[in-house]
Amino acid sequence: MKMRAAVVREINQLTIEEVTLDPPKAHEVLVRIRAAGVCHSDLHTYRGELRAMPPLVLGHEGAGVVEAVGSAVSKVKPGDHILVNWVPSCNQCPTCLRGQPNLCERLPSTSLAALLPDGTTRLKTLDGVTLKHYLSAATMAEYAVIDEASAIPIPADVPFEVGALIGCAVVTGAGAVINTAGAQPGSSAAVIGCGGVGLSAIIGCVLAGCNPIIAVDVFDSKLDFARKLGATHTVNAREVDAIEAMRQLTRLGPDYVFDSVGAAATISQALKAVRPGGAATVMGMHSLKTDVPIPAGPLIAQNKRLLGSFFGSAKPHFDLPRLIDLYRAGRLPVDDLVTKRYPLDEIHQAFHDMEAGHVARGVIVFPG
């Protein structure tokens, strides 16, 4: 079939063009995409800063309606509403079996290489160039073929935009708080970087019962979003010493600091700011390809912990439905994360608004 998609043929070359999509194989699902979140990971990939390289179709936050299923698919059927899980684990390797499906051993050669779990692709340009599926998803397109393990059913009353965001930003941010750090009720917390993932971490801190919750960013607009989502205090790191500000608002520093940026400067900032014996958790990917120097003093002399969190340390088939249930119960204000909607043709504007701090989370919406 032919469809329109956000195509990156080469680094820093993004176009909306018509491409072809092959039908799903036995264990695959064809989804009509209704919403696709605009994430920094897509922008990093577009610029060649992450592992997956062009040519590919962007997008990994997504939700839509099942159009067709392969002959061996049993978990979903045509007409079902689903969110896209871009970590389709095998559930057979030793890592999956010890309870870490977010680190499934096949992911480096499939999802992280922008291929479907069988190691192939279903996408081509009209002039014959094979395109990869970013993070086994490629949701910035009218349709997507995904593995059955990537299709997580959602109730029909859950907006597609909400499902899309829960499938990446929310599980990454809230999961870092709840799963990775295990934040305790009454503990103090700070979140560095208030984009979609950082704001989701603030939602996670609220859910975990943290107090105070400190939001740190360089954009006042993002700090405004943070307040609306539960931050009790805000710090503009351009105007004050953020580490000192975090210490002044807590006793010796927050119990937990969450870094949604992942830059060398913010990783160091998180480790220095957290109290002795506390935990700094890095979930951002800005410096993924960079060797980042870490000061040994705080780790050793102050018994601090530096944790990494990929995909919120989530078990997708357990945690994603649980987050959907929390949203339906009114405990997860994901609607407030969606601050602007764009048609696919405005993808460049969506990336610009994200970088400029104009949105909490932008979403590409497709007509029903």
* Model pLDDT for residues 29-44, shown as the tens digit of each residue: 999 999 999 999 999 9
For each of the domains in the chain, give its residue range(s) and CATH number, in order of start. Answer: 2-167+313-365 (3.90.180.10), 173-311 (3.40.50.720)
Pull the structure tokens for residue 271.
Answer: 């480790």
Mean pLDDT in residue range 124-153: 98
Q: Which DSSP string corresponds to 29-90?
A: EEEEEEEEE--HHHHHHHTT-SS--SSEE-----EEEEEEE-TT--S--TT-EEEE-S----
Q: What per-residue confidence (pLDDT) applies to 293?
A: 85
Only one residue has tokens 């995409």, namely: 33
Q: Is the pLDDT of residue 87 over 90?
A: yes
Q: What per-residue confidence (pLDDT) applies to 242?
A: 98
Which amino acid would we find at residue 363?
V
Torsion over CA: 241, 308, 54, 361 (sign): negative
Which amino acid would we find at residue 67?
E
Q: Is the pLDDT of residue 286 over 90?
A: no
Q: Is the pLDDT of residue 83 over 80?
A: yes
Q: pLDDT-based confidence at 292, cuts 50/70/90?
A: confident
Which amino acid would we find at residue 64?
G
Q: Is the pLDDT of residue 241 over 90?
A: yes
Q: Is the pLDDT of residue 181 over 80?
A: yes
Contact 150, 86 (CB under 8 A): yes
The CA distances from residue 32 to 60, 73, 135, 146, 151, in Å, are: 14, 17, 17, 11, 12
Distance CA 289, CA 268 (A): 16
Of 280, 270, 45, 308, residue with least CA distance to 172:
308
Q: pLDDT-based confidence at 290, cuts 50/70/90?
A: confident
Q: Is the pLDDT of residue 289 over 80?
A: no
Q: Is the pLDDT of residue 288 over 80?
A: no
Q: Is the pLDDT of residue 80 over 80?
A: yes
Q: Is the pLDDT of residue 108 over 90?
A: yes
- The model's pTM is 0.95
Provide the terminal-to-terminal Cα distance of the chain, rounded to the nearest Å: 18
